[in-house]
Chain A
């Protein structure tokens, strides 16, 4: 009973909404009832027992509870509060455990269909780094310099990655070994995301229970456990930063709310520790860095500054900032970049306000207060001006391009083609929202409505989070991940309010009843208090439409209709989520699956086939050039040096590869030789209809190369006169002579034996005349032609041009024109060798 008696309704000030809802802060152990089950233990002895009387009008029986209130259906009576409470706790625990099980289970499609394999691109690097961590130890990992990436530059990995993910899985691996469970690190990595999804469900439950009721919390946990928007990033094998980041996000938000409500610096410190973990784990930590200050700032503007806010924020900021600076990749960013300035500014503002409040309390006098207020404003303005000056003088870095492009949406397209080229950085069309969230997307605004209606401090947080993340998710598909938790929480609040309104067995007394009239003049928060005290009317909306409004549902059939509709919605939601997860988000993309005509599954394993070929058949130091998408996979699976990879830190290096791919052999060959390239790898989907191949990405290579060499590579030259991107007869000479085109379609028409060679991705017919490669040899082509690997020829032993060698081997006479153009590339023409 402790929290209840500490803040009894009579003592609580209705003007402070954060205090009036103490019943929401209760842990499940407190003996009050959360659910609207009517019997009130101690008072029941004084009132009559429940009984049934036939209603005078209709045939429907009417039930009464122990206090004589009318009920729609019978409820068990005479249960002790302890029994009810214990049952509730047990139910909550069991339901949460089942939800965690569902969260893990629904993410296992990929493991069951294929095998325990790491997915996609970035996870391969994370996996490789984790192997270094567990095999070589933490210090080796911390100081790791990888000479095989970004050949010949190398990469200092330890200071250019977020180590949180690897350290987390390394700790789990060590913990399992400590209890004599030797698990392969690969399995730890594969199962990390589902495991943390279970934890996310739990932390979402805690967070929502703080916002509303524990039953809403359970709904929110169930929603986030299976919402496709989150599953898309956390299926088994998707070993990426986001896998653990969403759990940390929800946990730090929960502890922030807890700190704000209790004013305890311990909870502030917990928030700071989760924040530090987040900083170590994901670049998206900037969202927390700005979300919490914004919440604090809005609370200040709303006139809700208090010491709890001060304690919570100050302890979070001080500890969190220092802790986040321990990550080598972050270091001094928190005091040097614009993304972090809001947190610093609000910290300063809070100190000022706290100081002024203290002085004001001690020193009376109206003029003095005015002076103080002016002082606060002046300091705020001056420090803001100082911030602007520092930014423009270059001391504080302006917003990083990645973040800036969220506001100025046209920025990336012009200035950062690498960022714009990634498909997950595209804006989100409405079907994606529906696809990822189904019915939650329209329960979401209803939940925000409820937050506005109650508008406690913590609900302000939900509102800010909702509006901001709705914008971010609209700008970038990738940030659907950030909106999903708040949609689940908010939708769960709306859903549980609706469900509770129709499950609540209490039938409103007639309009003439004095209790309804009595409730009217009371303010909303006080009414809530009374409702909580009475346990019979959780919602009281007095004076909503007319003076004579009641609250509650009269008839049983309407209750049944609404509840069964909601249950139907839930069923559809579960089916939708399972279908989406199964059909869209469970493909490892390293292994592909297709259906045969008889419906049986056909596994396409070209990537691993080709990478293992490289691993087995090339020297250990052979440099493989490919587009950057495949850099991590080559390093992870083939274990060979690469020129560029998915850590796109060096734009010029990527543009060099782009230039080599988009230029003719004469231009490309010197580039290949200068970079010691031994093998060139291209992805070609034309035979199978695999649309994510290099020809479809080719324009981005051209664009990125053009950004660095605008006078040598021109995007328009790859389009036909009519502006089409063609690979058939209409293709421009520049296109046909480019290395990428030649490598993709080399010997492709031969497959069709004289029939038109159909590219099944572009739906175009490839010209029949054979493509001649002078400087490359075809080394390997995988079963379905998805991966094609070419060996770069060394310079001719007797100094001939490669083109001359090709002509010689072909038994052709090197014509005048051919020899003339052959001399363009490099210097001296030697003529025919005398062999």
Chain B
């Protein structure tokens, strides 16, 4: 891999006079796998010369393991796939847009110049000269990774609106799902059928459905979907290096926090059921009295704690029971 990088940079460095010439870059691109031009700080400047009559998609990434850039490694195949798809368009159109990749290792100067502190970053540079130039457009368009994610289809749909000509995403045929999926279906069906003696009573069991429904209700009413959609961290670092499990703010929460709340709701609901069902079923008056006071104390104390927790989230809340 290192040798390859070296070779590319040699190739780039030699014909400096040909810089910003589309045919020159086309030759380099066609030699590389996936049609991606490997850049360094100098060739970056050359490729993005101010008189370019072609557009460029540059991926600024940091692949070597010492940078520990997990998203870079996830995003890299997506970029390669889209770049490979571009190679399917006719030759004369293909030379109007190039895919290039600049690793942090080879282009720290570029990173500093752009003021980039994070990788990967994908930028689209429209043509600045020639027939494709459009005066009203931006000089550089950045792909929003946070919004679109790291997969190939959104990247392709974003890029296909910017390239000189729309292109379709080429996916290499993968026969494995066509074998695995039916096989798995058959295996699951057979195993379900063979275990029907156990499964049918389970599927008809009121306890199973009841427990499942109650767990679902408790999960949803304690804000699980918020965590999932907003990607809330499980715990956060509190002041002084401690671990805090309560998020600041009324419309904010942490993973552990919502689990605790779900548990509190479950405990309170169980106390109510215990007071209604279990305690009256007790035939010894003394035990019953103990049971009533225990569960009642549980109900009051946990409810008070819940109110206290809510007061921590919403400072202006005026109510509380014990605490």
Contacts and interface: CB of A to CB of B under 8 A. Distances in A.
A binds B: yes
Contacts of A375: none
A193 interface: no
Interface of B: 115, 117, 126, 134-138, 141-142, 144, 147-148, 154, 158, 161-162, 206, 209-210, 213-214, 216-218, 220-226, 228-230, 250-253, 257-258, 261, 264-266, 268-269, 272-273, 275-285, 288-289, 292-293, 296, 299-300, 303, 306, 310, 313-314, 316, 318-319, 321
B interface secondary structure, majority: helix
Contacts of B144: 715-716
Contacts of A431: 250-251, 253, 310, 313-314
Contact of A409 (B141, B228, B300): B228
A548 B284 CA distance: 10
B276 A433 contact: no
B223 A430 contact: yes
Interface of A: 409-410, 413-414, 426-435, 439, 441-446, 448-449, 452, 455, 463, 466-467, 470-471, 473-475, 494, 497-498, 501-502, 508, 510-511, 516, 539, 541, 544-546, 548-555, 557-558, 561-562, 565, 569, 572, 575-576, 579, 583, 667, 710-712, 714-717, 721-722, 824
20 contacts: A410-B229, A433-B221, A441-B221, A442-B306, A444-B221, A445-B269, A452-B209, A466-B213, A474-B226, A475-B225, A498-B275, A508-B280, A544-B281, A546-B283, A549-B281, A553-B280, A555-B285, A555-B289, A558-B293, A711-B141
Contacts of B321: 572
A562 B275 contact: yes
Contacts of B268: 442
A439 B310 CA distance: 12
A445 B265 contact: yes
Contacts of B293: 558, 561
Given A467-B216, A714-B141, 5 more contacts: A449-B273, A474-B226, A558-B292, A561-B296, A710-B161
A445 to B, nearest CB: 4
A824 B144 CA distance: 29
- Residue among B162, B210, B253 with the highest chain A CB neighbour number at 10 A: B210
A433 B115 contact: no
Contact of A434 (B126, B134, B282, B310): B310
Contact of A710 (B141, B206, B269, B300): B141
Contact of A452 (B206, B282, B289): B206
Contact of A541 (B225, B272, B281, B313): B281
A488 to B, nearest CB: 14
> Which 6 residue pairs spanning A and B have beta carbons closest together?
A474-B225, A430-B223, A452-B210, A442-B268, A554-B285, A470-B220
A449 B209 CA distance: 11
Contact of A428 (B225, B276, B280): B225
A446 B273 contact: yes
A738 B206 CA distance: 62
Given A410-B229, A445-B265, A498-B275, A716 B142 contact: yes
A549 B283 contact: yes
Nearest to A706: B144
A393 B57 CA distance: 36
B253 A667 contact: no
A561 B289 CA distance: 11
Nearest to B217: A470
B164 to A, nearest CB: 12
Contact of A550 (B147, B281, B303): B281
- Residue among B266, B269, B296 with the highest chain A CB neighbour number at 10 A: B269
A302 to B, nearest CB: 8
Contact of B280 (A435, A552, A716, A722): A552
Nearest to B252: A429
A475 to B, nearest CB: 5
Given A449-B214, A572-B321, A427 B229 contact: yes
A430 B253 contact: yes
A328 to B, nearest CB: 35
B217 A467 contact: yes
Nearest to B222: A430
B318 A548 contact: no
B226 A449 contact: no
Given A501-B280, A550-B281, A714 B288 contact: no
Nearest to A509: B283
Given A429-B223, A541-B280, A561 B257 contact: no
A561 B141 contact: no
Given A430-B261, A710-B161, A449 B269 contact: yes
Contact of B319 (A430, A474, A550, A579): A579
Nearest to B291: A558
Nearest to A568: B321
A508 B268 CA distance: 27
B223 A558 contact: no
B252 A442 contact: no
- Residue among B148, B230, B282 with the highest chain A CB neighbour number at 10 A: B282
A717 B319 CA distance: 46
A576 B213 CA distance: 28
Contacts of A432: 251
Contacts of A561: 292-293, 296
Contact of A554 (B135, B288, B299, B306): B288
A530 B266 CA distance: 32
Contacts of A501: 275-276, 280
A555 B288 contact: yes
A442 B264 CA distance: 8
B313 to A, nearest CB: 5
Contacts of A429: 223, 226, 250-253, 258
A721 B296 contact: no
A225 B38 CA distance: 68
A443 B272 contact: yes
Given A428-B226, A471-B225, A497-B276, A442 B265 contact: yes
B296 A565 contact: yes
A364 to B, nearest CB: 27
Contacts of B273: 446, 449, 494
Given A435-B314, A576-B319, A565 B299 contact: yes
Nearest to B148: A414
Contacts of A717: 138
A550 B282 contact: yes
B269 A446 contact: yes
A541 B277 CA distance: 8
Contacts of B126: 711
A575 B318 CA distance: 10
